[in-house]
Amino acid sequence: MELAELNTKIFADGAVLEDILELAARPYVRGFTTNPTLMRKAGVTDYESFARLVLERVTDLPVSFEVFSDEIGEMRRQALEIASWAPNVYVKVPITNTRRDSTAELIKELAAEGVKVNVTGILTVPQVETAVSVLSGGAPSFVSVFAGRIADTGRDPIPIMKDVLRILTASPSSELIWASPRELLNLIQAHEIGCHVITMTGDLLAKVELLGKDLDQYSLDTVKMFFEDANRSGLRVADAAART
């Protein structure tokens, strides 16, 4: 399958400014997502300055930035501030805080007020049902289901993602994000079930060129890699007679 045949939109997931600006020029990248963990890894310390630098250059693609308070009231303040930075901003709000307090009422208020919300941290169907019940009729939104983390527990995420798509029909303004994919195959799986969006980190985006690659050629490339690396390392197997 060729990249141009896929209906699922690819959002680049990361927090390195230079990478984001470079990826924004690629036609197959249709949006961006970030989170506090990625920002910490990238060394981001001034959240707003980083976000505004991104938004100065990325003006016509959706970009998701996350609230980071654990208090519902402060989440609301942060969400409204983040949403004001640019019209293409989606505000990531976790489905609960760290004490498992639901953020459903906050999400409902924000969506009704026109804030484009990306509900994040979702791993179960009941969580999706909660999100959809408060997003319906509101501003455009994303529902991020962490399919990769579901798979990490030994569960097949595909039946869950199919259920989620069915539930999302009750909120036509909401789109499903296949979050935290683990391999390029997940992009094909997302396309096959009709998932709207998939997030991909730089490591996975680097593999996009392999999509549909001839397997015989890939086999030869693999053999060449082993051969060349053995030579670079100076590996040798001594002749038995030489050891006597």
So which residues are the catalytic ones?
92
Q: How many helices, marked H, and strands, marked E, lie in the chain?
A: 11, 8
Rg of the chain in Å (alpha carbons) = 21
The pair of structure tokens assigned to 59 is: 């003006």
Query: C-alpha angle with apex 191: 143 to 208, nearest 5 degrees?
Result: 105
Output the 3-class SS for 99-132. CCCECHHHHHHHHHCCCCEEEEEECCHHHHHHHH
- CB under 8 Å to 138, separation ≥6 — which residues? 108, 110, 111, 112, 114, 117, 173
